[in-house]
Amino acid sequence: MTAVLDAQGLGKRYRKQWALRDCTLQVPAGRVVGLVGPNGAGKTTLLHLAVGLLQPSAGSVGVLGARPAENPAQLGRVGFVAQETPLYATLSVADHLKLGEWLNPRWDARAAERRIDQLGLDRKQRAGKLSGGQRAQLALTLAIAKRPELLVLDEPVASLDPLARHEFLQHLMEAVADDGVSVVLSSHLVSDLERVCDYLIVLVGSRVQVAGDVDELLACHHRLIGPRRDAAHLPSDQQVIEASHTDRQSTLLVRSDGPILDPAWTVEQIGLEDLVIAYMRRAG
């Protein structure tokens, strides 16, 4: 199956600083991918490279089997909503729909109109006067109505109130259920992603720390609690992500494909947020 995003040693440099480095990913199609990491970790850089707004300084990136923004057909296969959902403040909602229609040959006008009605947006309202939630919904409508195979969203719910956030994700998930479109969305909050993502990429310090299916990641990471022990003495197939010790007790976060057989350990499941935090701490 073609990966929806295929990066090989991808890197981007601004003058002396590397905003993204050694990024190698193969994201399968049909997933909702969460890209999580602190601010300045390189999430926006990675997404901009994926949609052709930036050129790589090192390595390569392929989206849906082709180079990003290579030609109008390729541009039409990817829908993008940038951070802060940029819209033309002086153009109305109806104007933006026309914009979508004029600039996209695969535009689904009826679906777009239906969605605008469902959202209860006033067509004559200027985009500059819409609320944050309404702008995000309009931007999402524009991205979905061009019938892309991949949707890329850069921190789409970061500045939305809980209700607007919920409604945005409802809209997004409906589109996934309807069209089977793949989604990559970034956030610096794990809670935003937990409900909707089934593939996770953790980006810290301009590098990918961990990437994989959420179910698989949760299944192969365990919290081990037991009497104080040096982490280096564990079997080689168990990779220690994080270790903390008191004078009597050790708590380890371990990645292991096989079962933990040592009876001295109490083995616990770990939640997604704790997993991400552990990797973020490890990188920082």
Partner 1 sequence: MMRLGWRQFRLQAAVAFGVLVVIAVVLAMTRPHLIYLYDVFAKAQTACASTGDCRDVTINLSQVDKLLELLGTALVAVPALVGAFWGAPLIAREFEAGTHRLAWTQSVTRTRWLASKLAIVGAGSVIATGLLSLMVTWWSSPIDRAHTNRFGSGMFGERNIAPLGYAAFGFALGVVAGLLIRRTLPAMATTLVGCLGIRIAFTYLVRPHLLSPVHKAVALDPDGTGFGSTNSGPPTLFPNPPSMPNAWIYSTHIVDNAGHGLPAQLVASTCPTLGTGLGGGPPPGSGHAVVRIQAPAGVQNALQECVAKIGASYHELLTYQPASRYWVFQWYETAIYVGAALALAGFCFWWIRGRAT
Partner 2 sequence: MIEFHLNATSGVAPYLQLVQQVRRALRLGLLSEGDQLPTVKDVVAHLAINPNTVLKAYRELEHSGLVAARAGVGTFVTSTLSDASLAAHGPLRHELQRWFAKARRAGLDDESIEALFQDSFRSLSDEGVA
By CB under 8 A, name the binding residues for partner 2.
Answer: 31-32, 166, 169-170, 172-174, 176-178, 194-198
Query: How many other C-beta atoms are found inside a 10 Å radius of the C-beta of residue 168?
Result: 20
Of the candidates 194, 187, 191, 199, the residue with the CA atom closest to the CA atom of residue 162: 191
**CA torsion sign, 242 to 37 to 183 to 73?**
negative
Owner of token pair 């469902």: 118
Stretch that binds partner 1, among 34-42, 66-74, 171-179, 182-190 (CB under 8 A): 66-74
Q: Is 22 exposed, middle or buried (0-12, 13-18, 19+ CB in 10 A)?
A: middle
Map the footprint of partner 1 across residues 155-214, applying CB under 8 A.
none
**Residue 14 interacts with, from partner 2, partner 1, none (CB under 5-8 Å by kind):** none
* Minimum CB distance to partner 2 smaller for 32 or for 51: 32
**Residue 102 interacts with, from partner 2, partner 1, none (CB under 5-8 Å by kind):** partner 1
* Minimum CB distance to partner 2 smaller for 24 or for 170: 170
* Minimum CB distance to partner 2 smaller for 99 or for 218: 218
17 contacts partner 1 (rule: CB under 8 A) = no
Ranges of H-type helices in 147-269: 162-179, 190-194, 214-220
Q: How far apart are CA 86 and CA 68, in angstroms?
A: 20
**Residue 109 interacts with, from partner 1, partner 2, none (CB under 5-8 Å by kind):** none
Three-state SS for 152?
strand
First and final C-alpha spacing in the chain: 35
* Minimum CB distance to partner 1 smaller for 83 or for 251: 83
Map the footprint of partner 1 across residues 76-105, applying CB under 8 A.
76, 78-80, 82-84, 86-89, 91, 95, 98-100, 102-105
